């Protein structure tokens, strides 16, 4: 059995003040490795925060990186810049050093509005469809004898219902969502509170790194580069449409952009 934990970065809303991109990131691994990886995160929290209840201290990427967010949380507020960097580096090391696969979907909301206008899908619904397709594709290629369960960060009841309703309606169709049967993805989408899930917290960090690289149009963003090797790739070692999907693309703009060109090239 494979477990895929999902979290997002960016805003869902279609409005001029919201972020241009919405990202869903999946962090997957064989369920046999759950205890080992979880314990590594627990030990890291205990070593950094030095409190018996360290396992219950939630970590989010923007909390770690944004000073005003750190000030709201006593356990982050007390850390020095050196300790904060050590925390981030060691969290990324856990991802890099374990048998983990990453898959991300990036929705360009401006292009969604250009293409679909008022009929544009909610970006989180579209992103989840694409993400489940890519998870299914990965499983068919690498682990066709296994099945996968999807576990996502809790959100509002309305959004959870909408995501699950969409998933259930498409799951039973021969073509899956757009083209891929989802027989390997079993059960409904499961939702957990990120406060109690080290794996949601790990994938949150990855989601932010992808979001930041696209937001800044900078594939060389340090923390994005650190985890690139864990994203799924095609036979030519290219990320586009395997480990990282970006939809929809503007043929006059995005096709020639630095980020898309970067994803089309083999990673080193």
Q: Quick check: 194 and 200 in contact, CB under 8 A?
A: yes
CA–CA dist 190, 42 (Å, integer): 23
How much helix, strand and coil, in percent to the nearest 5, is found in the chain? Answer: 50, 15, 35
H-run or E-run covering 152: strand 148-153
For the full predicted model, state whether its pTM sits above 0.85.
yes
How many residues are present in the chain?
268
State pLDDT tens for residues 123-180. Answer: 998 898 889 889 988 998 999 889 898 998 887 566 666 677 777 766 665 454 554 5
pLDDT score for 170: 65
Residues of the chain with pLDDT under 50: 174, 176, 179, 256
The residues pairing with 12 across neighbouring beta strands, listed in sequence order, are none
Cβ of 37: how many Cβ atoms within 10 Å? 20
């Amino acid at each position: 059995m494979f477990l895929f934990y999902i979290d997002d970065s960016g805003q869902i809303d279609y409005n001029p003040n919201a972020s241009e991109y919405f990202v869903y990131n999946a962090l997957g691994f064989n369920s046999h490795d759950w205890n080992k990886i979880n314990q590594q995160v627990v030990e890291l929290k205990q070593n950094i925060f030095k409190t018996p209840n360290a396992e219950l201290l939630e970590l989010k990427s923007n909390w770690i990186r944004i000073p005003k967010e750190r000030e709201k949380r006593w356990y982050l507020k007390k850390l020095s810049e050196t300790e904060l960097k050590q925390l981030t580096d060691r969290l990324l090391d856990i991802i890099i050093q374990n048998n983990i696969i990453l898959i991300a979907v990036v929705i360009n909301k401006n292009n969604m509005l250009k293409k679909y206008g008022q009929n544009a899908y909610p970006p989180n619904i579209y992103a989840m469809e694409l993400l489940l397709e890519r998870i299914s594709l990965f499983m068919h290629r690498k682990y066709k004898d296994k099945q996968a369960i999807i576990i996502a960060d809790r959100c509002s009841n309305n959004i959870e219902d909408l995501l699950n309703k969409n998933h259930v309606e498409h799951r039973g169709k021969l073509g899956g969502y757009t083209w891929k049967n989802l027989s390997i993805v079993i059960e409904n989408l499961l939702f957990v509170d990120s406060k109690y899930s080290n794996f949601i917290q790990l994938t949150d960090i990855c989601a932010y790194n992808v979001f930041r690289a696209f937001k800044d149009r900078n594939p060389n963003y340090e923390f994005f580069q650190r985890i690139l090797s864990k994203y799924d790739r095609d036979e030519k070692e290219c990320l586009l449409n395997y480990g990282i999907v970006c939809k929809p693309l503007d043929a006059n703009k995005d096709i020639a952009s630095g980020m898309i060109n970067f994803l089309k090239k083999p990673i080193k």
